[in-house]
């Protein structure tokens, strides 16, 4: 939680869009942003740091999330689902949301690191 803004994440592997033979692993993540402060805050920008299983890092910056810049009054919550594609079966994501207050001040709400992991498959033996 940062300045009363709580960010929760749930991620899962999308098997039917993935192709391990082609080093394509697709993940979805659902974010819940809750304003537990006494002041309204608007999410204006995002900054993601995505790290694959080999340690390669990709940074993503942009306005809002899923085409929106949600404004959260005290007690309000915003949910959205998005995704990413990795070339490895595991990775991590973390980042920040730049939040603006009505008085013109801003802060970066921290998104703690979370895992992206495809399920393990049993090894076939002959």
Domain assignment of residue 124, yes or no: no
Domain assignment of residue 94, yes or no: yes
pLDDT digits (tens, 9 = 90+) for 69-125: 999 999 999 999 999 999 999 999 999 999 999 999 999 999 999 999 998 655 555
Task: Provide the mean pLDDT of the chain.
Answer: 95
CATH of the domain at 77: 2.60.40.1470
pLDDT digits (tens, 9 = 90+) for 18-52: 999 999 999 999 999 999 999 999 999 999 999 99
Domain assignment of residue 123, yes or no: no
CA 93, CA 91: separation in Å to the nearest integer?
7
Total of domains in the chain: 1
Domain assignment of residue 125, yes or no: no
Please check whether residue 73 is in contact with residue 35, taking contact to mean a CB–CB distance below 8 angstroms: yes
Q: Which domain holds residue 52?
A: 5-117
Domain assignment of residue 65, yes or no: yes
């Amino acid at each position: 939680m940062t300045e009363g803004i709580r960010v929760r994440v749930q991620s899962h592997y999308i098997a039917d869009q993935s192709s391990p033979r082609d080093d394509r692993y697709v993940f979805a993540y659902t974010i819940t942003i809750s304003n537990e402060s006494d002041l309204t805050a608007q999410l204006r920008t995002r900054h993601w740091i995505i790290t694959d299983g080999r340690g390669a890092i990709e940074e993503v910056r942009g306005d809002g999330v899923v085409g929106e810049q949600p404004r959260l009054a005290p007690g309000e919550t915003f949910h959205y689902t998005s995704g990413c594609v990795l070339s490895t079966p595991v990775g991590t994501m973390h980042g920040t949301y730049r939040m603006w207050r009505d008085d013109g001040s801003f802060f970066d709400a921290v998104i703690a690191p979370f895992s992206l992991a495809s399920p393990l498959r049993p090894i076939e033996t002959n």
